[in-house]
Chain A
Amino acid sequence: MTAAHPGVPGKARSLGRPVLHASAVLPFLRGRERVSMLVGYVLLGIVVVAAVFAPLICRYSPTALNPVAALQGPSATHFFGTDQFGRDVFARTVYAARIDLIIAFSLVGTAFVIGTALGIVAGWAAGVADSVLMRIVDVALAFPFLVLVISIVGLRGPGLLSLYLAVSIVSWVFYARLVRSEVRQLRHAEYMLAAKASDYSTLRVLARHLLPNVIIQPLVYASSDLVYALLLGASVSYLGLGVQPPTPEWGQMVQDGSTFIGAQWWLSFFPGAAIVFTAVAFSLIGDGLAALAREGSAR
């Protein structure tokens, strides 16, 4: 979803089997890298658990208005303080995790699926299909992603659906490009030619041999893309174009609290900190996956 990722170099692989498998999620990494990836999982775990068990964790409801207790600072009862309507900021922050996590995962998920599919088609079929796809990619990349999203969302009308639509129109491009170049590299690998020469149907060849190998890079990319998707969703909501009130969402909460930033800083601080917390979790996991992919292909 962004060109702002530290590049993950693609490597031609000589293996005929997938390098990343479930049991290998932690083993290959050295001490320090393993620890940081573990930390990432733990942090993410905290966020997910908090989101899932929100009603059990929060003493107050995220939408209960309580004007008497408005604008109180963090305390033993209201961990993150209260906002201008007396709502408990902690409860709102925790409940908002649900929305933000869903947004991040679904944005990346859609882009991943569409992009990988189109990338495989373009890379495998080559020719006209490939050229057309690459031109579309060039045009899509010509706009700042946020500008495109804002424009589309704005024109369709604000809301979560518009956000999904706007993002899915463009975000698949990064995955398609990545997958396409992987496919092109692997098309001519020996085991691919061997599989093609056999009686297997094209679909089977693609699914069993091509897919496991080309999927690694986009997976790694996706893990760091989660960070960007999270920030994108929050930014668009901050501008008022995403999630609409009263559904709590971190970006929107930061916006709500912006008028109070001078004295009652906690309204905007904690939701933003939650974003950073979750983003760090995604980053650590993503870095770990990238290191794994590197180690794997080095064997």
Chain B
Amino acid sequence: MTETEPGVALQIRGLVVTGRTAGRTMPILDGIDLDLRSGEILGVVGESGSGKSTLCRAIARRLPSGLTIEAGTIRMGSMDVLRVRPSQLHQMPAGGVRMVFQNPMTALNPVMTVGDQCVEAARARNRMSRSAALARSVEILERMGVKNAASRMKDYPYQFSGGQRQRIVISIALAGDPAVLLADEPTSALDVSTQASLLELIKEISAERQTSVLFVSHNYAVVSQLCTRVLVLYAGQMMELGPSRTLLAESRHPYTSALIASLPSIETRVARLPAIPGQPPAAGQVPDGCPFWPRCPHADDGCDSGPVPMREIAQGHSTACKRAEAIWPTQACRADADGPAPADGQGGDAKFASPEVSP
């Protein structure tokens, strides 16, 4: 396939990213297959070390030193992102990829005025005069919620709050009219209300411009509010992928259910928040077979060896769990399923109330 299907903005196949420390090479991302559709907001969830940030950086070709892309293809249109020179990727006339980063404090050049940075973004895209670029930047900034943008163009990043900086970063990202926006935990460092308004903003942008968004977070609650589909990553491997409502109500992977179960709820009171016992494996110590088996309450023979590919168990819903049918024996994922509840007592949508809780 040399061209992505229509309606697919980004197509990832077999992506493997490895890292080197102390002379040993270990996989950080091991076999990612994903289709990001136009205009959709896809959430990527995982604990620290799951490889979710690395996924964004691999797509943007901005991996930190020490990490290399070993294998795989990432297609946008007719172009393989991994096979072109980075400059060709970034200087594409239309579409293209932009990124929003986690830490608002380091996302902007500290020694350059905000105005200069926005103008630079606008002029890199189209030939326009400095004043035109300035006007356009002010317009976008205001639209993104940065008040009095015109008078603040000469200010330096340190003079803005975290939330405002993220809005500036989003403005800069949008100035390139990207087809794909990579959001690497953009709201994790912000307070709840700022978080909420930024999430609203992302939703609007995506709807308005048909921009696809890959939204990475460790916070399941945030992701399920914002995203239409969710991908769950663990130890660099895909665990489950499906519509966010479905995953919430009827997840078919023990890890996903455990994540959801550990979210506190306003409805129910519990003596202790159920946490997943154990720790995610360090990069070089991923066990054979399903990486989650040491911590999985449903693990059985056969879970600790052999590959665990994603397989579709319902329309648009795939899981990597070999024992999904055994653990959830009733009709797999039908919206009207009214069989006995799955073993770990998952409830409905009242699972989470406040966005600041993270698994």
Interface residues of A (CB under 8 A from B): 28-30, 295, 298-299
Interface residues of B (CB under 8 A from A): 21-23
Please give, as numbers and ranges, the residues of chain B lying within 8 Å of A30 by CB-CB distance: 23
Listed A/B pairs (8) with beta-carbon separation below 8 Å: A28-B22, A28-B23, A29-B23, A30-B23, A295-B22, A298-B21, A298-B22, A299-B22
Majority SS at the chain A contact face: loop
- Cα(A230)–Cα(B63), bound, Å: 42
A-B contact count (CB 8 A): 8
Please give me the residue from chain A that is nearest to B21 by CB atom: A298
- Cα(A28)–Cα(B22), bound, Å: 7
Majority SS at the chain B contact face: loop
- Cα(A295)–Cα(B22), bound, Å: 7
Please give me the residue from chain A that is nearest to B20 by CB atom: A30
- Cα(A93)–Cα(B21), bound, Å: 43
Q: Considering the complex of A and B, which 7 residue pairs feature the smallest CB-CB distances, nearest first? A: A30-B23, A295-B22, A28-B22, A298-B22, A298-B21, A299-B22, A28-B23
Please give, as numbers and ranges, the residues of chain B lying within 8 Å of A28 by CB-CB distance: 22-23
Minimal beta-carbon separation of B20 from chain A (angstroms): 8
- Cα(A28)–Cα(B23), bound, Å: 8
Minimal beta-carbon separation of B334 from chain A (angstroms): 50
Please give me the residue from chain B that is nearest to A31 by CB atom: B23
Minimal beta-carbon separation of B18 from chain A (angstroms): 15
Minimal beta-carbon separation of A128 from chain B (angstroms): 39
Minimal beta-carbon separation of A138 from chain B (angstroms): 30
- Cα(A30)–Cα(B25), bound, Å: 12
Please give, as numbers and ranges, the residues of chain A lying within 8 Å of B21 by CB-CB distance: 298
Please give, as numbers and ranges, the residues of chain B lying within 8 Å of A295 by CB-CB distance: 22
- Cα(A298)–Cα(B21), bound, Å: 10
Minimal beta-carbon separation of B26 from chain A (angstroms): 14
Please give, as numbers and ranges, the residues of chain B lying within 8 Å of A29 by CB-CB distance: 23
- Cα(A30)–Cα(B23), bound, Å: 6
Minimal beta-carbon separation of B22 from chain A (angstroms): 6
- Cα(A295)–Cα(B23), bound, Å: 10
Minimal beta-carbon separation of A25 from chain B (angstroms): 16
Beyond contacts A298-B21, A299-B22: 6 other A-B pairs, Cβ-Cβ < 8 A, are: A28-B22, A28-B23, A29-B23, A30-B23, A295-B22, A298-B22
Please give, as numbers and ranges, the residues of chain B lying within 8 Å of A299 by CB-CB distance: 22
Please give me the residue from chain B that is nearest to A296 by CB atom: B22
- Cα(A298)–Cα(B23), bound, Å: 13
Minimal beta-carbon separation of B261 from chain A (angstroms): 33
- Cα(A30)–Cα(B20), bound, Å: 11
- Cα(A29)–Cα(B24), bound, Å: 11
Please give, as numbers and ranges, the residues of chain A lying within 8 Å of B23 by CB-CB distance: 28-30
- Cα(A29)–Cα(B21), bound, Å: 11
- Cα(A127)–Cα(B182), bound, Å: 52
